[in-house]
Amino acid sequence: MTQSTSRMDSQSKIAVVADRAGMTYTVKASEDASEKKKGLMDRFRSASGVNTVQVKALNPISFVAERGESIGVIGTNGSGKSTLMKILTGQILPTEGAVYATSTPIMLGVNAALVSTLSGGDNITLGCLAMGMSLAQVEEKRQSIIDLSGLQDSLHLPLKSYSSGMAARLQFAIATSVDPEILIIDEALNTGDAQFRDRTAARLDEVREQAGCVFLVSHSLGTIQQMCSRVLWIERGQLLMDGSPEEVTEKYQLYSNAMGRNRVKASRILREEAQATLKPTVINWQSAPPR
Ligand SMILES: Nc1ncnc2c1ncn2[C@@H]1O[C@H](COP(=O)(O)OP(=O)(O)OP(=O)(O)O)[C@@H](O)[C@H]1O
């Protein structure tokens, strides 16, 4: 669970603090090492779950996110972006360090659970109740959710008949109806059409204006440049850059091009140059953070 701290009160500009948060997954080793080669002890270890491998997904990362910021998170596949987002929402606990937030960040992803056999309208009810609204609050919000989703004509249909873009629109409209203080969007924007993207951008502006803080994980540098005021570049589990959308996406684009052409040395140099721009995050706790 994301830890909240009373020191980050409602007067503070700070929304999220990552304090050397890192993640190493422990997964059961695959059975590819042939069983017959294993001795009795090895087979016992395997059966008792001792036979595990460690996947270092995120090296300790520190940053402070303030209200009003819209933070893009970029990086090549498997670099650790989703892992960081799962830590922020409390979906997984970091194996090192900690994350503190003024309220639990709400994750909006294309894969978040909606019930496919229920109608769009019933999913609105269910989704809002799941986010802690009362039935009266759901009814209060229903029309604005429908308007934002633009799915007036399809609400009576079961969700399984929706295209992935339509489902993403509904999900976005439901998830942002609670006016979350901290909103995390993982690639959801890329599925909508141009009209929905405009509405999404307008809604994100509203969220930001309400002193919210938005994290946007995307492979689309255009979306990142259009929507973000700051960008974190994570590569190979390492925070490489934390800066303006222009400078970070420019460097990242050069890196992606070098990687695409298999220019190993050039891409290593670009990673090093990026990391050299990183200033250490100093977190001034008024007293020791709660652990
Ligand atoms: N549940 C898990 N168990 C073990 N390893 C995992 C798990 N989830 C992610 N990983 C590993 O952690 C690393 C980071 O994965 P993550 O999903 O955070 O990357 P990502 O930057 O979000 O990638 P993408 O852009 O492809 O979505 C990868 O090496 C991945 O294989």
Element (H, E) at 23: strand 14-28
Q: Are residues 82 and 211 in the same domain?
A: yes
Q: Which residue has the higher pLDDT, 201 or 256?
A: 256
Burial label for 200, CB within 10 Å (0-12, 13-18, 19+), is buried
ipTM associated with this complex? 0.98
- 33 in a domain, yes or no? no
Q: Are residues 189 and 81 in the same domain?
A: yes
Give 201 Cα–ligand 1 centroid separation in angstroms: 27
What pLDDT does residue 288 have? 56
Pocket flag, ligand 1, residue 70 (CB < 6 Å)? no
**Could you tell me the pLDDT band of residue 84, with boundaries at 50, 70 and 90?**
very high
| Mutational pocket test of ligand 1: of 23, 55, 76, 91, the residue with most ligand atoms within 8 Å of the beta carbon | 55
Max distance between CA atoms of the chain, in angstroms, equals: 65
Q: Which atom of ligand 1 is nearest to the CA of 187?
A: 27
Q: How many Cβ atoms are within 10 Å of 103's Cβ, its own excluded?
A: 16
Q: Are residues 131 and 67 in the same domain?
A: no
- 264 in a domain, yes or no? yes
Give 267 Cα–ligand 1 centroid separation in angstroms: 21
Pocket flag, ligand 1, residue 30 (CB < 6 Å)? no
Mean pLDDT of 16-35: 81
How far is Cα 222 from Cα 63, in angstroms, rounded to an integer? 24
Is 7's pLDDT higher than 70? no
Q: How many Cβ atoms are within 10 Å of 18's Cβ, its own excluded?
A: 26
- 118 in a domain, yes or no? yes
- Residue closest via CA to ligand 1's atom 13 equals 57
CB-CB contact of 13 with 100 (8 Å)? no
Pocket flag, ligand 1, residue 78 (CB < 6 Å)? yes
Pocket flag, ligand 1, residue 115 (CB < 6 Å)? no
What pLDDT does residue 23 have? 98
How far is Cα 156 from Cα 122, in angstroms, rounded to an integer? 8
Q: Are residues 6 and 67 in the same domain?
A: yes
Q: Are residues 88 and 118 in the same domain?
A: no
What pLDDT does residue 154 have? 96
- 201 in a domain, yes or no? no
Mean pLDDT of 166-180: 83
Span 238-283, pLDDT tens digits = 999 999 999 999 999 999 999 999 999 999 999 999 999 999 887 7
Cα–Cα nearest to 223, from 191, 259, 257: 191
Q: Are residues 126 and 228 in the same domain?
A: no
For 134, the domain range is 113-179
Q: Are residues 216 and 74 in the same domain?
A: yes
Span 142-156, pLDDT tens digits = 999 999 899 999 999
- 29 in a domain, yes or no? no
Give 164 Cα–ligand 1 centroid separation in angstroms: 23
Integer CA distances (angstroms), 69 to 32, 64, 213, 215, 270, in order: 46, 10, 5, 8, 26
Pocket flag, ligand 1, residue 111 (CB < 6 Å)? no
Q: Are residues 287 and 238 in the same domain?
A: yes
- 58 in a domain, yes or no? no
3-state secondary structure 44-69: HHHHCCCCEEEEEEEEEEEEEEECCC
How far is Cα 201 from Cα 242, in angstroms, rounded to an integer? 22
Is 17's pLDDT higher than 70? yes
What pLDDT does residue 107 have? 77
Pocket flag, ligand 1, residue 218 (CB < 6 Å)? no
- Which pair of structure tokens corresponds to residue 147? 């308007």
Within 8 A by CB and 6+ apart from 75, the residues are 81, 233, 234, 235, 252
CB-CB contact of 245 with 88 (8 Å)? no
Span 38-76, pLDDT tens digits = 565 665 555 555 688 999 999 999 999 999 899 999 999
- Which pair of structure tokens corresponds to residue 221? 């540098």
Number of domains in the chain: 2
Give 83 Cα–ligand 1 centroid separation in angstroms: 6
